[in-house]
Structure 1
Amino acid sequence: MEGMAMAMAQDTGIAAERPTDGWLTGRLSALMFMQFFVWGAWNVTLGLVMQTVGIGSLIGNAFSVGPIASIVGSFLLGMAAARYVAPRMLMVILHLVGGAILFALPALVTPEHGATFVWLLLGYMILYMPTVGLANTIALKSFGERTDNFPFVRAFGTLGWIAAGLIIGWAGLSASPAIFQVAAVVSVALGLYSFTLPNVAADAPRDESVLRQVLCVEAFGLMRQRSFLVFIVCATLISIPLAMYYAYASPYVGAAGIENVGGTLAIGQMSELVFMFSMPWLYRRFGVKPLLLVGMIAWALRYALFAIGDGGGGLWAVYLGVALHGVCYDFFFVAGAIYTGTIATPRGVNAQAQGMLTLFTYGVGMLLGSQIGAALYAQLPANPTIADWHAMWWYPAIAAACIALLFQFTFKNESREVAA
């Protein structure tokens, strides 16, 4: 049995069992909890807030700033975090400054200042998005070869997102600009807490120009490995329909007649938590391809459920579609982060590679998805009913199904290969 376990670990790029530091796990778990609490506090119901205050036409733009920030921030991460500045010090700076901006945002969520709100939100997200990759880098480097501990720690990020949604819903803030104030308090707390994080080293300097470092040339070189290239392409494409969920799920759930929107959407994170804890075993047992494929199929099924759900007898489809978030997210994005680590480790470019993954998924893919979603939303009435939403959801359902087919026929796991 021990030999079989070691063989499965080698097949998935995960090292065999060794003792771990429980205190370290606790510290990293707290990091992930606060990291995603900050995001979840405002991101989940922002679309509902904007529609409520009369700036629903700007929802697409507001959800485009995150992807744009991912692109800009990923390059900054490749230059700074990967080469010159310790990841934990960047976490301190980015979350403290970001918290100050969050405190200023609620006053701008009005029809008169809507455009200014979007621009300031962009500034905040340029600071926040690199911290997603930084948190992953700190956790993965702290664990060393024991990467199968990462899903357990990352599960506390899901707990943070759930806690944020439940608090926002319980406090009756789902449609209130005060969601940013809640996020601001935790952002400042995380900035201060980051002083205590493990002081993992930046990637070893290489004999290359600053321009090559800024452009993450070493990380992009990993795509010479065919399997990783296919993964990046499909991850980018699946992020297009993903963006539509983040932007329009809250007004859709509200149109279905559900009052506690924040609490309802937290069901998705609860399911995410369940699958997160099973991810190490699933990754060792099945490998990367089945997990990624199931994740993409789940996205297609979720949107199909949204396309038939309503506030009457079809309310079950709305709840089931939300509950599928665990399969949608964990099976693709968490497994994808681990897979990226196994590819990047031999080249010593973990920080760059995680930043590059963020660039393509939360950056390029979600930017396209936000703009496509905005174009589809523009075809709906000013106050769409549940019936108006149905036609819109078929587009991402069909797109996700096509991407799953593309991945099935083009991806072959070669993670044990080292890119030349």
Structure 2
Amino acid sequence: MSIKLRLTFLSFFQFFVWGAWLTTLGSYGFGFKNWTGAQFGAVFSTLGLGSLIMPALIGIIADRWMNAEKLYALLHILYGLTLFVLPFIDEPNTFFWVLLVSMCFYMPTISLSNSLSYRILIDNQMDVVKVFPPIRVWGTIGFIAAMWTTNLLSDPQSPWEAGKAVGEQIAAFTGHAINANQFYIAGVFAVVLGIYSFFLPKCPPENKGRGAGSWMDNLGLKAFKLLGNYKMAIFFLFSMFLGAALQLTNMYGDTYLKDFEKIEQYKDSFVVEYSTIIISISQISETLFILAIPFFMKRFGIKKVMLISMFAWVLRFGLFSFGNPEGFFWMIILSNIVYGMAFDFFNISGSLFVETSIDPEIRSSAQGLFMMMTNGFGAIMGSVLSGWMIDGYYLLPDGSKDWSGIWMVFAIYALFIAIFFGLLFRHKHNPAEVKNMSH
């Protein structure tokens, strides 16, 4: 098997084992466990908590003490084993702690998978800039495939009778709803990926036996001096706010579509039965918009591209607010298409801005700060505050959620972010930014 094919397999299942449950966790918590918004917000915040310090700590281990491929393999096996425990837990506080442990194992593997791929490609004299992007695209495809698999095997009305039968047997054995399949699917393939990774090309520690810099450098803390620069401080602050917006989509998108079953005229609609497949249009769109980033960056520059992303978030949430499975089904579809622009133009262009705006000696730690602000602090903020808001202001008398109002508040939130970012962020476009992408 060629190196590129082996890394493609790695990328595909890296995100398959996350996508199998990430967008459907809300349906599981609200629909089967009857969690409150605050309880679910706390549970979902584990992704952010797992992103605060674990990637940096795992990076130190890989740099100084242990082969990266072995560490990666071990983390995925532990991640898979903890996922097997989740279906047996009813109490949300216990669920929170087990999922937090699981995220401490999984979240570091996102950056570690990139490091592994870069190292292996370089060791095999391959052009990383040219070869890696087509490999990474398969990660998004894996995420989509996982969402479809979960939807088809967990839905009692699934046309895949074999999958339906398996789901019913698992449900009968565990005493829990068929929807718990999402954790078994992810867990099985996480363990398989872990075993597979032991047989990847060896990636021994590069800093073993010699100094690897101060602990401040290794933990990425040196990059915090960037917060003393006005432009960078504003950029990182708004990165945190947009990280919260992304978390809202992950938390509530599938739950929102599933809840249409509580309305008589929509209960048997395609949207309800195949909600996860519809949400996966967002990831399909993501694979397309990523190809447009170089053109937009060269033509408009980072500030305008980021503003495009922010207004795309306004559309994403606003279209959900007015959409429904019949007359305004097109709004739901368009919202998922717009997601690709909202996500890619923020995450990828933001990462590029960091790469081309700071001193080379702190690029890695600056990227760590960017991840910490988006996937860490931003994710936690989005999880906790949205759960509190829904419980306090958007529960209807019958206990259901006012999704139209919820999405509209999220849209207004994104609109305010866009307005204030446009006013406060000062940056003069330099076309050389795009040229620097390959350096």
1:264 matched to 2:278? The reply is yes
Structure 1 residue corresponding to 2:379, chosen from 343, 366, 370: 366
What does residue 154 of structure 1 align with?
Answer: 136
The alignment's TM-score, normalised by the length of structure 2, stands at: 0.78
Q: How does 1:172-187 map to 2 (within 5 A)?
A: 172-173=154-155, 176-187=179-190
| 1:36–1:158 contact (8 Å) kept in structure 2 | yes
Indicate conservation of the 8 Å contact 1:92/1:190, yes or no: yes
CA gap 1:312/1:367 in 2 versus in 1, 3 angstroms: same
Per-residue CA shift, 1:341-383, capped at 9, x if unaligned? 4457821653x44433222111100100001110122131486
1:244 aligns with 2:248: yes
Tell me if the contact between 1:231 and 1:411 (Cα under 8 Å) persists in the aligned partners.
no
Secondary structure at 1:56 match in 2: coil
The aligned amino acid for 2:319 is L
**Mapped partners of 1:347, 1:173: distance in 2:** 50
**Counterpart-to-counterpart distance in 2, 1:341 and 1:137:** 16
37-46 or 70-79: which moved more? Answer: 70-79
| Aligned pairs (5 A) from 1:179-328 | 179-195=182-198, 196=200, 199=203, 208-210=213-215, 212-213=216-217, 215-223=219-227, 227-256=231-260, 257=266, 258=271, 259-280=273-294, 282-283=296-297, 286-328=300-342
Report SS of the residue matched to 1:44.
Answer: coil
Pairing partner for 1:115 from 69, 84, 93:
93
Distance 1:87 1:339, change over 3 A: farther
Where does structure 2 lack aligned partners over 5 or more consecutive residues?
157-177, 261-265
- Aligned AA for 1:39? W
TM-fit CA distance, 1:305: 1.0
Q: Which residue of 2 aligns with 1:127?
A: 105
In the TM superposition, what are the counterparts of 1:44-59 in structure 2 within 5 Å? Answer: 44-57=23-36, 58-59=39-40
Residues 46 and 99, structure 2, Cα contact 8 Å, conserved in 1: yes
1:18 corresponds in structure 2 to none
Determine the C-alpha separation between the residues in 2 that align with 1:68 and 1:135.
20
Shift of 1:320: 1.6
Report the Cα offset of residue 299 of structure 1.
Answer: 0.7
State the Cα distance separating 1:142 from its structure 2 match: 5.6
Encode CA deviations 1:191-210: one digit per residue, 9 max, x unaligned: 12333157386579767543
**Closer, same or farther: CA 384–88 of 1 in aligned 2, 3 Å:** farther
Structure 1 residues 271 and 176: CA distance shift in structure 2, 3 A? same
Q: Counterpart of 1:31 in 2: which secondary structure?
A: helix
Show CA shifts across 1:213-250 (max 9, x none): 46422333455565444332221111112211111111
Question: Which letter does structure 2 place at the counterpart of 1:35?
Answer: Q
Helix, strand or coil at the partner of 1:333: helix
**CA distance, structure 1, for counterparts of residue 191 and residue 351 of structure 2:** 27
In structure 2, what is the equivalent of residue 103 of structure 1?
84
CA shift, 1:284, in A, is: 5.3
CA-CA distance at 1:84 after TM superposition: 4.6
* Deviation of 1:122 (Å): 0.8
Question: Does the 8 Å contact 1:275/1:326 carry over to 2?
Answer: yes
**Between 292-301 and 309-318, the greater mean CA deviation after superposition:** 309-318
Q: 1:105 to 1:241 in 2, by over 3 A?
A: same
Q: Percent identity?
A: 30
SS of corresponding position for 1:67: helix
List gaps (5 residues or longer) in structure 1. 1-21
Which residue matches 2:175?
Answer: none
User: Larger radius of gyration, structure 1 or 2?
Assistant: 2
Counterpart-to-counterpart distance in 2, 1:213 and 1:302: 38
Task: Name the SS for the 1:171 alignment partner.
Answer: helix
Q: Which moved more, 1:67-76 or 1:91-100?
A: 67-76
Change over 3 Å in CA distance of 1:240–1:354 after alignment to 2: same
In the alignment, does 2:405 pair up with 1:391?
A: yes
Contact between 1:79 and 1:216, CA under 8 Å: does it hold in 2?
no
| Cα separation, 2, equivalents of 1:197 and 1:280 | 32
SS of 1:178 mapped into structure 2? helix
What CA distance in whole angstroms lies between the structure 1 residues aligned with 2:291 and 2:403? 34
Match of 2:8 in 1: 29
Of 373, 377, 386, the match for 2:390: 377
Q: Indicate how the Cα distance of structure 1 residues 336 and 190 shifts in structure 2: closer, same or farther if over 3 A, else same.
A: farther
User: Partners of 2:359 and 2:82 in 1: how far apart?
Assistant: 35
Greater mean alpha carbon deviation, residues 238-247 or residues 74-83:
74-83
Instruction: Output the CA distance in 1 between the equivalents of 2:144 and 2:375.
Output: 20
Q: Tell me by how many angstroms 1:46 deviates.
A: 0.8
Once the two structures are overlaid, the 10-residue window that deviates more, 52-61 or 363-372, is 52-61
